């Protein structure tokens, strides 16, 4: 399944990563993630876009499948993937 994952382009620029899209398209299959991880991701898809809505930024950098899966595993543990504060980078709903 193809999932669109938001990319933190500002962070990519800071890290010297040239990426010209707001989204990374990630192909996630049974061999890429455990059932529990796929279920967790599936519950957070909105029109094919990953959107965890946990009160902090949901974009990734570097833009890669490995980073997306790392962030998913961190979020599943209830931790913050980049150590940001609860409201950093998030607009009010």
Residue 65, in any domain of the structure: yes
**At a CB cut-off of 8 Å and minimum separation 6, what does 89 contact?**
56, 57, 59
Counting residues of the chain whose pLDDT is more than 70, the rounded percentage is 82
Residue 67, in any domain of the structure: yes
Residue 81, in any domain of the structure: no
Q: Which domain holds residue 63?
A: 2-76
Q: Domain total for the chain?
A: 1
- 87 band by pLDDT with thresholds 50, 70 and 90: very low
Q: Which pTM was predicted?
A: 0.79
Percent helix, percent strand, percent coil in the chain, to nearest 5? 30, 15, 55
- 73 band by pLDDT with thresholds 50, 70 and 90: very high
- Which carries the bigger pLDDT value, residue 46 or residue 83? 46
Residue 91, in any domain of the structure: no
């Amino acid at each position: 399944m193809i999932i669109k994952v938001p990319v933190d382009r500002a962070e990519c620029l800071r890290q010297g990563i040239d990426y010209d899209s707001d989204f990374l398209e990630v192909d996630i299959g049974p061999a890429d993630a455990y059932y529990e991880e796929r279920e967790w991701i599936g519950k957070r898809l909105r029109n094919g876009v990953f959107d965890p809505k946990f009160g902090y930024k949901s974009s990734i950098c570097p833009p890669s499948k490995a980073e997306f899966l790392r962030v998913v595993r961190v979020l599943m543990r209830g931790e913050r993937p980049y150590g940001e504060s609860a409201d950093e980078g998030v607009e009010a709903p």
